[in-house]
Amino acid sequence: MAAEYLHIGIPVTNKKPGMVYNEGGKLWMSNPEDYDYKIEYLKFEEGTPFPEIMHKNPHVAYKVDDAEPYLAEADQVIFGPVANPDGSRMAFIIKDDAIIELLEMK
């Protein structure tokens, strides 16, 4: 298994400059590439499909070739996996009390 660090996701209650709205996810998000430390700020809106635990806790995102081994070893799968329009797959898991985003790029 190999994972490449992508970003840290930090939930916020106020929009930050440059955030864009994601209609499908019902949330505002920043581009991690706009920040030196690859921070993705997230402001969740009412009706978002993302679980409540993500609204108040940060996550770390990794790009993986195959999400299945990580999903199998997770303590809990809290979201997904779901297919993205670009052909990738995304899932959020809890492993060792940390929220981890898996972005599978095949």
Residue 106: per-residue pLDDT: 73
Domain that holds residue 72: 3-104
CATH code of the domain in which 75 resides: 3.10.180.10
How far from chain centre, in Å, is Cα 37? 16
pLDDT digits (tens, 9 = 90+) for 23-67: 999 999 999 999 889 999 999 999 999 999 999 999 999 999 999
Number of structural domains the chain divides into = 1
